Amino acid sequence: MKDKIIEKSNELFLNLGFKSVTMDEIANSLGISKKTLYKHFNNKTALIDAVTHHMFDTICCSIDQVCEQKMNPIDEMFHIKKVVMEHLKDEKSSPLYQLQKYYPAIYASLKKKQFHMVQKTIQDNLQRGIEGGLFRSQIDVDFISRIYFNGMIGIKDQQLFPLQKYAMNTLMNYYLEYHLRSISTLKGLTQLEHQLKNNQL
């Protein structure tokens, strides 16, 4: 039952937002009583904490599966973006922004985990890109990985990029192209153009 609660809550939170969804609505959508819901989660904050970290672990697993394929680093970045967006369903409610605003402690914990995951993934991607001649050899791998993470957090800021103007998938596409163009060699740019054509960005 606990897994079902997390799964349904995740769906509701992504579509409607952390703030909007009530414990009553979650219980009703599952066809259970609030008593049963509270048996597994003491309050809404505890449920949100479980849901967000479950989603993080799920996305990390999918990213790891992409990385295990050892495709060229530019193709890898597009595949990672694709699996992330499949899990987040284009973030109609901008959940990360709502998490930061209404549940800052959970947001801080999640951001710390995200940073370490992104650092590891992007630094490996950058290093392989340099070795394969796709990325410029003089780039600072640590600096670029941190800038990349900062930018990914930045595009989720609704004050800077309101959802009414920018769909999250569009922002991800723009940012990924921006990132790759800034570090690619001529060989890398050729591969990037191939990906952009295939993805019709």
Nearest-angstrom CA–CA distance, 119 and 121: 6
Between 192 and 201, the higher pLDDT residue? 192
In this prediction, residue 21 carries a pLDDT of: 92
- What are the distances in angstroms from CA 63 to CA 34, 36, 56, 83? 35, 34, 10, 7
pLDDT at 201: 44
The torsion angles phi and psi of 19, rounded to 5 degrees, stand at -70, -40
Number of domains observed in the structure of the chain? 1
Give yes or no for residue 131 having a pLDDT over 90. yes
Tell me what pLDDT residue 89 has.
66
What are the pLDDT digits (tens) for 68-114?
A: 999 999 999 999 999 988 887 655 556 777 888 899 999 999 999 99
Q: Report if residue 93 sits inside a domain.
A: yes
Q: Does residue 75 form part of some domain?
A: yes
Cα 148 from Cα 74, distance rounded (Å): 14
By three-state DSSP, how is residue 184 classified?
strand
Residue 176 lies in a domain: yes
Question: Is there a domain that residue 2 lies in?
Answer: no
The verdict on residue 18 lying in a domain is: no
Whether 15 maps to a domain, the answer reads no
pLDDT given for residue 197 in this prediction? 86
The CATH number covering residue 71 comes to: 1.10.357.10
Q: What is the pLDDT of residues 33-78, one digit of tens each?
A: 999 999 999 999 999 999 999 999 999 999 999 999 999 999 999 9
Q: Encode pLDDT of 133-177 as tens digits.
A: 999 999 999 999 999 999 999 998 888 988 888 888 889 999 999
Q: What is the pLDDT of residue 112?
A: 94
Q: How far apart are CA 35 and CA 62, in angstroms?
A: 34
pTM, 2 dp: 0.87
What's the domain range around 158? 45-199
Residue 20 lies in a domain: no
Q: Would 94 be classed as within a structural domain?
A: yes
